[in-house]
Amino acid sequence: MTTSPVLEFEQVAMDFDGKTVFKDLSFELHWNETLGLTGPSGCGKSTVLRIAVDLASPVEGEVRFLGTSVSSWDPIELRRRMILVPQEASMFPGTIRDNLEWPLRVHKLPVDEDKMQEVLEHVLLWPIDLNKIAANLSGGQKQRVAMARALLLEPEALLLDEPTSALDAKATLAVEQTIASLAKAHDIGVVIVTHNKEQAERFTSRVIEMKGE
């Protein structure tokens, strides 16, 4: 294992159409750590996650994954090892099983039934009929399928954008507990975006608060 942090942002600035969204953003994500990223709507939280996986390029600063600039990584490799689960998780056409297996097939990795059940238990979706059409799931269920799909690829970092925004209070607490244990259980770094600072403080080890300009 490397001694570099999993993910580093150094003095990162972003603007859109000449308007600053954020600047001077620096943080490190460590192994086995769950880091909260919070701040008001529009302050750039989702943009930070997109920058991390090199889907957007900052105007200033350096972003490194495992010590190497994200722009130097092969994008497919980068996005297998650091997976972004977006706010509105999209499902591929087909069943839940298709959704869980497809990324494994793309990356030529074996499909392991036991592991599939284990990750679905981990995101509190088990038992579930894997032959259901994924598009018909609720928003919260889709997001949890997306989390399970990500975990099957055994990433080193997981970036979760508002992972509980579509859930009721009971499911929120359950998923929070799950997420809190993910980093240690899988020996990875986890970033959780939430606009709810109290939530972030409840179950992350550290919170970065973005102010907005």
* Interface residue list for ligand ATP (CB under 6 A): 16, 21, 41-47, 195
Instruction: State in angstroms the smallest separation of the CB of 144 from Mg ion.
Output: 18
Which residue lies nearer to ligand ATP by CB, 153 or 207?
207
Partner from Mg ion, ligand ATP, none contacting 81, C-beta within 5 to 8 A by type:
none
Partner from ligand ATP, Mg ion, none contacting 47, C-beta within 5 to 8 A by type:
ligand ATP
Which residue lies nearer to ligand ATP by CB, 21 or 100?
21
> Residue 132, Cα to own-chain centre: how many angstroms?
24
Phi-psi region of 138 (alpha: psi -120 to 50; beta: other; left: phi over 0): beta
Instruction: State in angstroms the smallest separation of the CB of 34 from ligand ATP.
Output: 19
Which residue lies nearer to ligand ATP by CB, 20 or 68?
20
Establish if 46 lies at the interface with Mg ion (CB under 5 A).
yes
Instruction: State in angstroms the smallest separation of the CB of 110 from ligand ATP.
Output: 35
Non-local CB neighbours of 153 within 8 Å, separated by 6+ positions:
80, 83, 103, 104, 107, 109
Instruction: State in angstroms the smallest separation of the CB of 208 from ligand ATP.
Output: 12
- Applying CB under 5 A, the residues found at the interface with Mg ion are 46
